[in-house]
Amino acid sequence: MSEYRDLIAAERPIRVILIDDHALFRMGLFELLERRGIKVAAAVGNGEEGIRKAKELEHDLILLDVRMPEMDGLETLRRLRASGVTAPIVILTTSNDDRDVVEALRFGAQGYLLKDMNPDELVAALQDILGGKTVVAPELATALARYVQGSDKSLHAESPFADLTPRELEILKHLAEGRSNKVIGRTLGIVDGTVKLHVKSILRKLGVHSRVEAAVIAVEKGLTKK
């Protein structure tokens, strides 16, 4: 995520792709972001077109709605990741369903935000996400924890962390708390590059594609409580 953190202080604006089927909201968000110095590379109304734009255009972040006809946001998210899109993807929606939150994180979203949030808070959240954090709307935190706890019975009894080293387990706990590589490195007294290598190893051993997926597994398995 270090390349995304650098964008915050870079001269060129952050480039965002908007995927939302509500034209009025899409236009309003377009103007809101542009006024705050964020460049909207594309604003489209469906998942198929959003996937095409993500492949064609340079971008730093994708904002994606959940409730869309034909292809909903979760399926769009899954297909974006399957197609190789690595930029942070943020769900921005009216849905406060905790199952949507969990599925979005499992499919590789770096954030889950609600449309009624304050514009300045939205921009701040996007900057945090570009800085490597995972951001979930505060009002959804309790629902997310409740859903994860209720899912414990369906989880595999065998620990997925058996192959992780003590240092990797330590870093995974920090990932589950939404901390960036820089913060983890400062806390543990190691450089960002070393943290990045450990994160890559963690993802490989857990069989996942993003740090968010690894964090969800850590929370589900109660690693953060230990």
Q: pLDDT for 25-49, tens place per residue? A: 999 999 999 999 999 999 999 999 9
Confidence band of 142 (pLDDT split at 50, 70, 90): low
Q: Is the pLDDT of residue 56 over 90?
A: yes
Over residues 105-109, mean pLDDT? 87
Q: Which two tokens stand for residue 116?
A: 């009624």
What is the predicted pLDDT for the residue at 21? 95
- The angle that helices 73-82 and 47-56 make with each other, rounded to 10 degrees, is 30
Q: Is the pLDDT of residue 150 over 80?
A: no
What is the predicted pLDDT for the residue at 97? 84
86 SS3 class? coil
Q: Is the pLDDT of residue 10 over 80?
A: no
CATH for 155-225, options being 3.20.20.210, 3.40.720.10, 1.10.10.10, 3.10.50.40 = 1.10.10.10
pLDDT tens digits for range 78-104: 999 989 898 999 999 998 888 888 889
Share of the chain above pLDDT 70, in %: 86
**Fold of the domain built from segment(s) 2-147:** Rossmann fold (3.40.50)
The answer to whether 208 and 147 are in contact (CB under 8 A) is no
Confidence band of 106 (pLDDT split at 50, 70, 90): confident
What type of residue sits at position 173? Answer: K
Confidence band of 8 (pLDDT split at 50, 70, 90): very low
The answer to whether 181 and 195 are in contact (CB under 8 A) is yes
> What are the backbone dihedrals phi and psi of residue 61, each rounded to the nearest 5 degrees, phi first?
-160, 150
Question: Cα angle vertex 158, ends 155, 135, to 5°?
Answer: 50
Confidence band of 148 (pLDDT split at 50, 70, 90): low
Confidence band of 171 (pLDDT split at 50, 70, 90): very high
What is the predicted pLDDT for the residue at 9? 45
Q: Is the pLDDT of residue 157 over 50?
A: no
pLDDT tens digits for range 191-215: 888 999 999 999 988 888 888 888 8
Domain ranges of the chain: 2-147, 155-225
According to DSSP, residue 108 is labeled: T
Q: 17-26, 59-68, 90-99, 149-158: lowest mean pLDDT where?
A: 149-158
